[in-house]
A and B are shown apart, each in its own frame.
Chain A
Amino acid sequence: MLLLLDILTTAAILFIVSIGLLAIFGVLKIINFAHGAWLTVGAYCAVVTAKLGLNPWLALPLAFVVGAVLGGLAEHFIIRPLYRRPLDAILATWGLGIVVGQLITLAFGRDVQLTPNLFAGTVAFGGVEYSAYRLVALGIALVIGTLFALTIERTRLGLSARAVIMNETLARSLGIDTGRVRLVVFMVGAGLAALAGVLLTPLTSVDPNMGVSWLIGAFMLVMVADASFLALAAACLVFGAAQVLISTFVSPILGSIAVAVLAALVLRVSPKGFSRA
């Protein structure tokens, strides 16, 4: 049971971390290497909330708004002119991530920051004592996934985003403001990344470079998912399971690179990754 919960909650955390990157990759067709920076910004929203003595859960909406606003500014001033130059866009987002990290260092220093646990202690679940926060994270991942799916399937924004993913030229010719769709999706993606940053604070140390280590895993998962929401969920579950099993039965060090290595292998065999299914 413990192993099963570890697998499910690890998959949930991977999903939370990757979903914003997937949204941006799907619609904008660029890999946003500033994703790690948005995660870090979100984590520092939790730091600020704690320093101000506010309810730590307030960091979630704060991070989403801050991430979305910063993401909107980045899309407008940096990414938009580079849509036709995807390689330059990757370099620009990588550079942006470095700048954001340095600005955070300037404001908060290099030291690891402490944040209050969003949900402390353990609860009895399925006959075992398990981290209450990891179970909450699992619930939050389900909520985020459901809201994301409903937005994509049931709203006009979601329909427009799918249209842009499938055929942007046709979408434009029908009068869809594809520039606005890209902007909104980038804002949502950055907001979700910042939200993920807050949710990571009880699980990892908060420092200006914390996002980098999560970026690689999220990147590989999105490559395997190939812009498919369901494929991302499947990839998180499979690779999360592999990470937990390898960490438990082989070596935690090998477990930490399991996602990247397995994703590379999957892409070698099937370039469209899990989305083919």
Chain B
Amino acid sequence: MPEAARRSEPVGAALALDDVSSGYGAISIVKGVTLSVGQGEIVALLGKNGMGKTTLLKTVLGMVALRGGGITIGGQALSGLSPAKLVALGVGYAPQEQPLFQDLSIRDNLRLAVPSDRMLPGALERLFGHFPFLKERLGQRAGTLSGGEQKMLILGRALMLRPRLLLIDEISEGIQPSMVERLRKVLLAERDAGLSMLVVEQHVAFALGLADRYAVLKLGEIVDSGSAKASDARERVIDHLAV
């Protein structure tokens, strides 16, 4: 979809976070975050390590308890929904921490992402459309893939079920620029097909090149946000990320 046309559409919230707070035990990590992702929009959430980005994603997924505020996906409140129900609602997740079952085959890693084996052939076709190299390597142990290949598997797995909303955690971390570019093209193609994404990143150039809007998270709070295409976006983000 051409960018101008996309921007002219009314933006309904694929994901809306309203004053969201969460944390672990006695420690508050996410503090009153309000953020939305429109239909077919990519929002980049930037911040240094330990600022609460991953915790925020896990809160959306119901893996970290919501302590305050509200989360809606496509207008539906998420309170109390399990990750299994969220996946059924069309939420995909590409995690950063231990994102694959290293000792399982690529096929088994992919099987685990579909609710039934009957859905696997169609899902695989969709995956091979993005990453054809995986077709010949389904029997290979996932842990033997290179870092970049593993990222492609993680992203491909998250895209297999045609999610409506995709949560991505530092997909560009630790991989070579050509791989990053390949991932960027896949994500932009999915965005143009209508997929909404919340992309957690530290790689500023990648994030701003990909996203429509950005937000910066610092110590659990949004300290800046705006259009990723604004001329001063990069400078402002880097200012926030500077030590």
Interface residues in chain A, defined as those with a beta carbon under 8 Å from any beta carbon in chain B: 156, 159-160, 162-163, 166-167, 169-177
Contact A156 B111 (CB under 8 A): yes
Residue from A160, A162, A169 within 8 A of B63 (CB atoms)? A169
Q: Chain B interface residue count: which class?
A: 20 to 34
A–B pairs, 9, beta carbons within 8 Å: A156-B111, A159-B108, A163-B104, A170-B95, A170-B98, A172-B82, A174-B157, A175-B113, A175-B115
B125 neighbours in A (Cβ, 8 Å): none
Contact B98 A173 (CB under 8 A): no
Task: State A171–B86 Cα separation when bound (angstroms).
Answer: 13
A160 neighbours in B (Cβ, 8 Å): 112
B61 neighbours in A (Cβ, 8 Å): 173
**Smallest CB-CB A-B distances: 7 pairs:** A175-B87, A177-B84, A175-B84, A172-B83, A174-B113, A166-B101, A173-B93
Q: Give the one of A162, A167, A173 with max B CB within 10 A.
A: A173
Contact B98 A176 (CB under 8 A): no
Taking the closest CB of chain A, its distance from the CB of B160, in whole angstroms, is 11
Contact A175 B101 (CB under 8 A): no
B116 neighbours in A (Cβ, 8 Å): 156
Query: C-beta contact mask, B108-127 vs A, less than 8 Å → 1, else 0?
Result: 10011101110000000000
A173 neighbours in B (Cβ, 8 Å): 61, 63, 83, 93, 95
A156 neighbours in B (Cβ, 8 Å): 111, 116-117
Contact A167 B98 (CB under 8 A): yes
Query: C-beta contact mask, B64-107 vs A, less than 8 Å → 1, else 0?
Result: 00000000000000000011101110000101011111111000
* Contact status of A175 and B99, CB under 8 A, knowing A156-B111, A162-B104, A163-B104: no
Task: State A177–B112 Cα separation when bound (angstroms).
Answer: 11
B115 neighbours in A (Cβ, 8 Å): 175
Contact A166 B104 (CB under 8 A): yes
**Chain A minimum-CB-distance residue to B103:** A166
